[in-house]
A and B are shown apart, each in its own frame.
Chain A
Amino acid sequence: MRPLVEVTGLEVHYPVGTLADRLRGRRPVFKAVDGVSFTVAKGETLGIVGESGSGKSTVARALLRFLEPTAGSVLFDGADVAGMDRAALRGFRRRAQMIFQDPVGALNPRHTVAACLDEVLQVHGRGGPAERAGRVAELMALVGLPPTLADRRPRALSGGQCQRVGIARALAVGPDLVIADEATAALDVSIQAQILNLLADLKGELGLTMVFISHNLGVVRHVCDRVAVMNAGRIVEIGATADVLDRPRQPYTQALVAAIPAMHGAAPSPTGAAILGTVI
């Protein structure tokens, strides 16, 4: 089966030269992404990990054509994303959605939860007002938001609730691919666990393909089938999650794995339920 996403030789360079450089005829560039290739199969979750500045978010943005790559190609379901005209791009954006890191900042502070979701449906021309209202209620139920929150504004919600709205927005038009860029980084650990569970449920229920970008290897280990490790704009290692994180081959991945603070002694119980010695 052909992969849903095929990225080949992706490069994103930014000019960093000063005027003096240009007068001397030099064009220095910063290589945010420097020759990245990978594929994502249908129904798969690919993790992209790396430290700040490794280029992982830039890859996500190039995937969705939020920015134009310097070189390389992104094929989505066989179609070249760079070559899409407006109509094709609109269809593509319906099928590929993004969940952002800052759940509060990603929402319009003046819109209620219902309006935030309705907006997405309107933009994509999904049905009349009544139909959309029904879909909004459906989406809220899907992501576990009680209907009483429909008239609240983001400010009146917790970070976890805002992220649920963000997820509902991404799912509103029934995408095939969801890119989650540090989707749980701003959340407290107990809320992060809820959101990770929600994403896992939704993925199973809706058959989503996901690209999961995170600096947190623990989170990536938990949710991803395969993982790509990025450093300085390149993928240094890619493979099945267990292979890469438990038996890293590259020195960089080894250093990254070794730096995860370990919970000494605490270990998963065979049932995968809580770890805890005595309480639960």
Chain B
Amino acid sequence: MPVLLSVRDLRIDIATPAGPLPVVDGVSFDVAEGEIMGLVGESGSGKTMIGRALLRLLPTRRARIAGGAMHFDGRDLARLDETAMTGVRGRDVTMIFQNPSSHLDPVMRVGDQVAETVMRRDGVGWRAARTRAGELFAEVGIAEPVRRLDAYPHELSGGMRQRVMIAAALACRPRLLVADEPTTALDVTVQKQILELLRTLRDRSGFAVILITHDLGVVAETCDSVGVLYAGRLVERGGCAGLLTRPLHPYTAGLVGSQPELAVPGRRLPAIPGQPPASDDLPPGCRFHPRCAHAEPTCTVGDIALETLPDGRAVACRRWPELAGAEVGA
């Protein structure tokens, strides 16, 4: 599939009294048309910042895109002016959030909120837009869609509200949907339905999805490819199945190992010691080296680039060939 989005050396700074702090630093990845790419990382890894940067929805007074490019359909989203960006946002690129309640107007009927988007996107009248909103509700699996158009957000469950958000996103007929932790606030049974819905809609409409999550299980169930972020850098990238079953970066391996569902009950979990560094106190060299069981003096100096392997996997670790080889020899 042709590349839809190409992010190169993206850098995002946050302004602090002590000067700008890079919270995303030199991140590069491609998303093909119709691909679901997962961006995984722990709190503060920069995953949400990247998602917001793609729509240029960073909190402007504090954070800014300090470098790099985000090529989408021949245009660099990092350099578009605000007017041009308005033509992209809510049209070609759109976003859904973790907490639908705080992104829906509490005093407006949900059908009207979706119809509003339809009117703006398709330039149709109110009546047609309401009809289309009803169709969209049906498409996202809302039971009794036409009756639900008149509901207010508080009358719907969390899962239903997320479906409304997805309906509004679909109304934009996007080519890229950025989904920021869309199921984190939901129960597992509802989460499963929403993830299935995203995949079904992708299959039907062919848009690409960037799924931002902290949950490797969600990635395994939903994504085609995945990028792993640590302290603002991409440490590993590749196809979902290969990356999760055969991680090359020690951090990815540590994340997979920390999943309690994979461990032998009663045994200690192979936890990663320590905690991620603060963005004003980043270690030199590989940012993971203070927590890494395989760190050597060479890991503590210089810039460690993301190295792309012949099979398309990319990893940012000086020692990966050795570490991988050790296992093969064992």
Contact = CB atoms under 8 A, between A and B. Distances in A.
A72 B262 CA distance: 38
Contacts of B294: 279-280
A191 interface: yes
Contacts of A266: 220, 244-245, 256, 259, 262
Counting chain B CB atoms within 10 Å of each CB, the highest count among A191, A259, A274 belongs to: A274
A196 interface: yes
Given A51-B189, A279-B248, A279-B327, A262 B220 contact: yes
A274 B250 CA distance: 11
A279 B270 contact: no
Given A256-B189, A276-B253, A189 B323 contact: no
Assign chain B's interface to a size class. Answer: 35 or more
Contacts of B246: 276-278
A268 to B, nearest CB: 5
B145 interface: no
Interface string B56-87: 00000000000000000000000000000000
Nearest to A261: B217
A215 interface: yes
B189 to A, nearest CB: 4
B189 A280 contact: no
A278 B182 CA distance: 31
A: interface residue count bin = 35 or more
Contacts of B42: 188-191
B188 A51 contact: yes
A274 B270 contact: yes
Contact of B262 (A241, A275, A279): A275
A260 B217 contact: yes
Given A196-B260, A219-B260, A260 B253 contact: no
A280 B270 contact: yes
A87 interface: no
A189 B255 contact: yes
Interface in A78-137: none
B127 interface: no
Nearest to A52: B187
Nearest to B269: A193
B247 A277 contact: yes
Contacts of A200: 266, 268
B216 A189 contact: yes
B139 to A, nearest CB: 22
Most buried by B among A193, A215, A223, A264: A193
Contact of A217 (B252, B261, B276): B261
A194 interface: yes
Contacts of B252: 279
Contacts of A192: 258, 260
Interface in B174-200: 187-189, 191-192, 195
21 contacts: A52-B187, A189-B258, A193-B257, A193-B258, A200-B268, A218-B259, A221-B265, A222-B263, A223-B260, A259-B188, A259-B192, A261-B215, A261-B218, A261-B220, A263-B256, A277-B327, A278-B324, A278-B328, A279-B248, A279-B294, A280-B257
The 3 A-B residue pairs whose C-beta atoms are closest, nearest first, are A261-B217, A218-B261, A277-B246
Interface of B: 42-43, 187-189, 191-192, 195, 214-218, 220-222, 241, 244-250, 252-273, 275-276, 293-294, 320, 323-324, 327-328
Given A51-B188, A267-B262, 6 more contacts: A217-B261, A222-B266, A259-B192, A265-B244, A275-B257, A280-B250
